[in-house]
Structure 1
Amino acid sequence: MLYKLVENSKMRRQQQRIKTVKMSEMEKDPCDIALEKARAFFERAEEVATTNNFDYAIELYLDGLRLAPDALEDGHAPLRQLALIRQGKGCKKPSMVERVKRLKGKTPLEKMLNAEYLMAKDPDHLPYAESVLTAATEAGYLRTAEWIAHIIFEAAKVSDKSDKVRFDRFIRLKDAYKKMAMFTNAVVACQCALEIRPKDGPLRDELRDLSAAMTMKKGKYGTTESFRDSIRDRDAQDKLQDQGNVIRSDEVKIEAVRKARKKIEDGYETATNILELASAFFNLETPQGQQDAIRVLENAYAKSKDFTFLKRLGEFRIKKLKQQIRSLTRQIQKEPQDEHLPKQLQQLQHQLDEVELDHFEKCEGNYPTDLRFKYEYGRTLIKAQRFDQAIPMFQESRKDPRLKVVSMDKMGLCFLLKGWEDDAVDIFQQALENCVNKDSTIAKDIRYNLARAYEASDKPDRALELYRKLAQTDFSYKDVGQRIDFLRKNGK
């Protein structure tokens, strides 16, 4: 499949070069010349990718982007698809040495390419994408910045991270869109942040200002010679707005399906294009669209037995269930008197637990070197109360520095729930020692679990001391207040 894609890509580029040669040197734009030189690297990258030499292909793409930094269709987007295929093959994430080496850069371009290198090797790690966005915005590569912002936004919408992480992410998106004068997108990002913190007065004021700026830009008030000029430019303006709008209209979503389907019908039946079609169907956000997405992936997996399709299928099912849970949770808040809704929510949560368990078990089996899947599989095993199976997963996943503390916390929880309180205490203490930020959410979680372990091992004084310190910094944290009252009431 990849060979056929490369051959067709070659033909298209050869045709483009023939057209370019016909232009006189005086007519050529410097950007076009740079892009033409960059395409030699992009073409070579596609060829190398067919041999599964993904890391060399990544370097070639970056060499091309160094010449044409804003080459979205030829450079950034194909590199992103390559990263997803590489991930599907179970290739390793960037090493500690690579992360240290690539986290900085002297110029915005160097920062962007370094971040994109890390993102290519770990496409699900959103901080890398955010670094790409920051650098691209700073350098003025607006098409690239808009593209990566859309990826971040779509991921943030379905993220199961803490509210603080999601809030900060939407704020960064809002600021980036504002800097690019894309006020409609900035408004949407700001609204998402306000859904998390609805009582944030300054942010609400900023939303009002952004909405005013959006209205001014849409109507072009004060910048055109007349109202007729504004109306005359509306068609072109709407077209640009469709391209830039993070929340795409139904028409744009349907057009994305049409384009993705046409690639398949024209004979470009590659893994990348199949995944693109499935995503386009799923993004319609309709029951039929989601069914079509599942059908595309099931058929592709049946033909190829490529786990990449099964992995994406599991991700879609999880995403769909999380959307249903969020929607039902909002409905419960609006209709607290309805006794049937909590039962439906419980059923959906149980279904999500089962789907996640099945999904991450398969991912861990197909990507045995990916420690992130070991962690996620262990997390779902805890929910299934299969602690003996979960512990080895966390013992492995803690070898990843980014997962070390959370893995130790979950491992300690397994020992606690097994009734091995002394072992749990040891592990929680080690986890707390390894926690850099003692005021972080994970540090609070470890202290809370350590207190529970002390309480279970009949050491109420130590438990009470930890609960008290938690209450002094965050009184609303879980059931800390109730546990303190219970221990004091019972003279412990």
Structure 2
Amino acid sequence: MALWGKKNDDGVEPEEAFSPENARRFFERAQTTHDTLNYEYAVTLWLNGLAQDPGSVEGFEGFFRSVTAYAEEMGKKASGKEIAKALNGKGKILKYQQALLNWGLKPTSGAATLKAAEAAAALGLKEITEILGRRALGFAKQDEKPKKDVYVKLLDVFEKAGAFELAVEAGQIASQLDPSDGDLAARVKEMYASATIQRGRFEESAGEEGGFRKSIRNVEKQAQLEAEDSIVKTEDTKDRILAAKKADYEQRPTDTAAIEAYGRALLDRGKPQDELKALLLYKKAYEQTGQFRFRQRQGEVELRVERRKLRTLRSKLDANPDDEQLAEEVRKTEAKLLEMEISELRLQVENYPTNLGLKFELGKRLLEQGEYNEAIGLFQKAEEDPKHRRDVLRYKAEAFLKIDWIDEAVTTYRAALEGIVDPGSELALELRYGLMCALQQLAENDRDLESAEEADRLASEIAMKRFDYRDIVDRRKQIKDLIKSLRASV
């Protein structure tokens, strides 16, 4: 744990209330969920694990990988609204989770990065505070209209992180922006003194027998580790890390850890030739070891390439909405990507038969493809997992509706709505909308006035919450007309 000296009365949980063991369980589930391509839920799990161990760099980096994948997959549709509702922290822990989520969805925003750094600093998370603070300082320097208050906040952040050299740098820029602030100038001098003491400790260590060489080795090793752990790497850093991982792999080409590290470095640099090399690397590793995880990594790379192609095509279509040929190309690429996802998920379900989350993800893709019967079978198995049950019921009800099993759809939507905590959430709206549609269909099929009236009540509730929700205005008119017709025929 990287927390220090916090008391209960400042809104932070006492250190004994945290549990790295519980965090580990969240992180393991998060990684498994990420591997099943359910990035949104993986983000939730990483953040809730960080509530149990806020200073975990592993959890922090895992969160960033998943939130980046989620943002890439969803594009402009990426939203943290539902994730935020599922966060389990309180007080400053919750603020930290929320700030990380906002930053993860907007990683190039200087303001969001600074807020995340401040939230980490408020909890005393030195390592994470410095990582975020360095990034925020970089954004501040790029601002064409530098602001004193931003640099003062960075000074605060770096002081709390014990990164006094960086505190001096931020403070000096703030002083240059307002030379008349004597208190600020005095504070920068204090930071300079602290930085000098910090450097002195290093030099003292270097003066011991063998200390200089040891210190240099430590600095070089630390620089390498910091470069690898950094969330934001320069191209030069990526090149150096990749060269090191490649050399390590070439020395021990059958070592699974070396294979994984080399593959990650290739994908982190992410040039087209790197992706091809990673693809061939994982293919060879799977053939040599028979370990399915390498076949899974191979599939992830193929999906990554296809998703990027689809994003590029969609961007072109946004700029040329009347281009029918381009629109057709987008549709074909969407269909191909869906086929690829289904193929990969089938393999994963086959190799991890007890993983109900994988069955759920495969069921969703099959529902999208129109394979309703198979999707229902998978949803029935997946609903045994309490983590996914409400979401699974929602999709299962939709599948029943697609095959005109209206009674079953109504029953399933009702089960999904039972015990829902936030009736105003997006999920609750979707479930009520689905139940409304099912009841409308039931009323039309069976000429049932009671079902039509219940559908009308649901339509009214949804419209009161969100008047612009989907086609709710048109739906309500249809249901009103249906009620009139049914009453007239009585």
Q: TM-score, normalised by structure 2?
A: 0.64
Equivalent-residue separation in structure 2 for 1:255 and 1:446 (angstroms): 50
User: Taking structure 1 as reference, are residues 472 and 257 closer, same or farther at Cα in structure 2, changes over 3 Å only?
Assistant: same
Number of the residue aligned with 1:177: 117
Number of the residue aligned with 1:81: none
- Per the TM alignment, residue 152 of structure 1 is displaced from its structure 2 partner at its CA by 1.3
Is the 8 Å Cα contact of residues 400 and 408 (structure 2) preserved in structure 1? yes
Number of the residue aligned with 2:64: 153
1:475 aligns with 2:460: no
Number of the residue aligned with 2:456: 464
Residue identity over aligned pairs, in percent, reads: 19
1:391 aligns with 2:376: yes
Q: Greater CA radius of gyration, 1 or 2?
A: 2
Code of the residue aligned with 1:274 in structure 2: it is: I
Number of the residue aligned with 1:426: 411
Code of the residue aligned with 1:148 in structure 2: it is: G
Code of the residue aligned with 1:449 in structure 2: it is: G
Deviations 1:160-213 (A, max 9, x none): 5861246855326644433215334358999xxxxxxxxxxxxxx999965886
Is the 8 Å Cα contact of residues 421 and 453 (structure 1) preserved in structure 2? yes
User: Taking structure 1 as reference, are residues 153 and 362 closer, same or farther at Cα in structure 2, changes over 3 Å only?
Assistant: same
Equivalent-residue separation in structure 1 for 2:43 and 2:275 (angstroms): 24
User: Taking structure 1 as reference, are residues 117 and 463 closer, same or farther at Cα in structure 2, changes over 3 Å only?
Assistant: closer
Is the 8 Å Cα contact of residues 278 and 296 (structure 1) preserved in structure 2? yes
Deviations 1:93-142 (A, max 9, x none): xxxxxxxxxxx9962684334312442355244444324545655xxx5x
Number of the residue aligned with 1:3: none
Number of the residue aligned with 1:115: 23
Equivalent-residue separation in structure 2 for 1:129 and 1:474 (angstroms): 31
Equivalent-residue separation in structure 2 for 1:157 and 1:477 (angstroms): 28
- Per the TM alignment, residue 375 of structure 1 is displaced from its structure 2 partner at its CA by 0.4
User: Taking structure 1 as reference, are residues 239 and 312 closer, same or farther at Cα in structure 2, changes over 3 Å only?
Assistant: closer
Equivalent-residue separation in structure 2 for 1:421 and 1:207 (angstroms): 60
Deviations 1:228-272 (A, max 9, x none): x9xxx9x99999985675232222222232222222212263223
Is the 8 Å Cα contact of residues 298 and 309 (structure 1) preserved in structure 2? yes
Q: TM-score, normalised by structure 1?
A: 0.64
The alignment yields a C-alpha RMSD, in angstroms, of 4.0
User: Taking structure 1 as reference, are residues 271 and 433 closer, same or farther at Cα in structure 2, changes over 3 Å only?
Assistant: same
User: Out of 373, 378, 398, which is 2:358 matched to?
Assistant: 373
- Per the TM alignment, residue 463 of structure 1 is displaced from its structure 2 partner at its CA by 2.6
- Per the TM alignment, residue 363 of structure 1 is displaced from its structure 2 partner at its CA by 0.9
Q: Secondary structure at the match of 2:418?
A: helix
Number of the residue aligned with 2:260: 275
- Per the TM alignment, residue 293 of structure 1 is displaced from its structure 2 partner at its CA by 1.2
Deviations 1:283-308 (A, max 9, x none): 22222111111111111112222211
Number of the residue aligned with 2:284: 299
User: Taking structure 1 as reference, are residues 187 and 396 closer, same or farther at Cα in structure 2, changes over 3 Å only?
Assistant: farther
User: Out of 399, 411, 416, which is 1:414 matched to?
Assistant: 399
Is the 8 Å Cα contact of residues 252 and 258 (structure 2) preserved in structure 1? no
User: Taking structure 1 as reference, are residues 304 and 462 closer, same or farther at Cα in structure 2, changes over 3 Å only?
Assistant: same
1:129 aligns with 2:69: no
Number of the residue aligned with 1:100: none
Question: Which structure 2 residues correspond to residues 109-258 of structure 1 after superposition, within 5 A?
Answer: 110-120=18-28, 122-123=30-31, 124=33, 125-134=42-51, 137=54, 144-145=56-57, 147-159=58-70, 163=79, 164-165=81-82, 168=98, 170-171=101-102, 174=113, 175-178=115-118, 179=121, 180-181=129-130, 182-186=132-136, 219-222=169-172, 223=188, 245-258=230-243
Give the length in aligned residue pairs: 365
- Per the TM alignment, residue 361 of structure 1 is displaced from its structure 2 partner at its CA by 0.9
Gaps of at least 5 residues in structure 1 are 1-68, 71-103, 191-204
Number of the residue aligned with 2:343: 358
User: Out of 428, 436, 448, which is 1:443 matched to?
Assistant: 428
Question: Which structure 2 residues correspond to residues 76-87 of structure 1 after superposition, within 5 A?
Answer: none
Q: Secondary structure at the match of 1:283?
A: helix
Equivalent-residue separation in structure 2 for 1:359 and 1:418 (angstroms): 26
Is the 8 Å Cα contact of residues 151 and 170 (structure 2) preserved in structure 1? no
Code of the residue aligned with 1:114 in structure 2: it is: N
Is the 8 Å Cα contact of residues 460 and 487 (structure 1) preserved in structure 2? yes
Equivalent-residue separation in structure 2 for 1:317 and 1:256 (angstroms): 23
Equivalent-residue separation in structure 1 for 2:229 and 2:67 (angstroms): 17
User: Taking structure 1 as reference, are residues 117 and 449 closer, same or farther at Cα in structure 2, changes over 3 Å only?
Assistant: closer
Code of the residue aligned with 2:135 in structure 1: it is: N
Is the 8 Å Cα contact of residues 151 and 171 (structure 2) preserved in structure 1? no
User: Taking structure 1 as reference, are residues 256 and 206 closer, same or farther at Cα in structure 2, changes over 3 Å only?
Assistant: same
Q: Secondary structure at the match of 1:158?
A: helix
User: Taking structure 1 as reference, are residues 262 and 381 closer, same or farther at Cα in structure 2, changes over 3 Å only?
Assistant: same
- Per the TM alignment, residue 473 of structure 1 is displaced from its structure 2 partner at its CA by 0.8
Is the 8 Å Cα contact of residues 405 and 431 (structure 1) preserved in structure 2? yes
Number of the residue aligned with 2:178: none
Q: Secondary structure at the match of 1:157?
A: helix
